[in-house]
């Protein structure tokens, strides 16, 4: 099951302050143990809810990847407002980026995986770009009704996604941010 793509015309919803009650970007940064010189990727960056705080947490490069050029433009404008200069932008599918192999220390894909058509290719791409001992945080909507997020039929139950990713990645930890939001912290060996 693949969900519909979140449209850039609704991008302001991604910055709703209420989202911080469900998942604060600082929680993700802390969970990933972001260090000052880490190279980071945000797959499905949108308008930068996670990208901007990640770029502020490292002096290293942050790759912002999104399939919608309009989202990348919105993110560029936000980065300029914050005087952030360490983001590299790429319009690409999360399953096929132009990033060099083994070039990233930390990564995140938030609320995107349920929209991805080629899920196995996306996991393979994450594995390809991550450095050994890198950490990746895959955040998704739990398969329960909630006031935010996609329709229930598009959500992936946490146990189902955990089992799927565990087969592909090995070292995976299920974490809960909110009853309707979970994450998989993947450590690449």
Average pLDDT over residues 156-168: 95
Residue-wise pLDDT tens digits, 11-22: 455 555 666 677
pTM attached to this predicted model: 0.90
The set of residues, in sequence order, having a beta carbon less than 8 Å from that of 47 and lying 6+ positions away, is: 8, 11, 14, 15, 71, 74, 75, 78
Any idea where the domains of the chain sit in the sequence?
A: 22-187
Span 8-12, mean pLDDT?
50
CATH 3.40.50.150 assigned to 22-187: yes
Non-local (6+) Cβ contacts of 85 within 8 A are: 79
Tens-digit pLDDT profile for residues 36-92: 999 999 999 988 999 999 999 999 999 999 999 998 999 999 999 999 999 999 999
Helix (H) or strand (E) holding 21: helix 19-22
Closest Cα to residue 138, out of 114, 161, 110?
A: 110
Q: Cβ neighbours of residue 160 under 8 Å, at least 6 residues apart?
A: none
Mean predicted confidence (pLDDT) in 152-180: 93
């Amino acid at each position: 099951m693949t969900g519909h793509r979140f449209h850039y015309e609704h991008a302001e919803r991604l910055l709703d302050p209420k989202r911080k009650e469900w998942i604060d970007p600082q929680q993700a940064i802390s969970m990933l143990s972001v260090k000052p010189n880490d190279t980071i990727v945000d797959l499905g960056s949108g308008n930068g809810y996670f990208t901007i705080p990640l770029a502020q947490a490292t002096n290293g490069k942050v790759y912002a990847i999104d399939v919608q050029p309009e989202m990348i433009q919105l993110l560029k404008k936000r980065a300029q407002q914050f005087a952030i200069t360490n983001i590299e932008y790429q319009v690409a599918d999360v399953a096929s980026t132009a990033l060099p192999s083994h070039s990233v220390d930390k990564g995140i894909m938030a609320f995107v995986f349920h929209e991805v058509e080629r899920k196995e290719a996306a996991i393979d791409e994450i594995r390809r770009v991550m450095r050994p001992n890198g950490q990746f945080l895959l955040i998704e909507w739990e398969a329960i009704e909630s006031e935010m997020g996609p329709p229930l039929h598009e959500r992936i139950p946490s146990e189902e996604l955990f089992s799927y990713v565990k087969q592909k990645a090995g070292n995976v930890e299920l974490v809960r941010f909110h009853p309707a939001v979970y994450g998989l912290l993947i450590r690449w060996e």
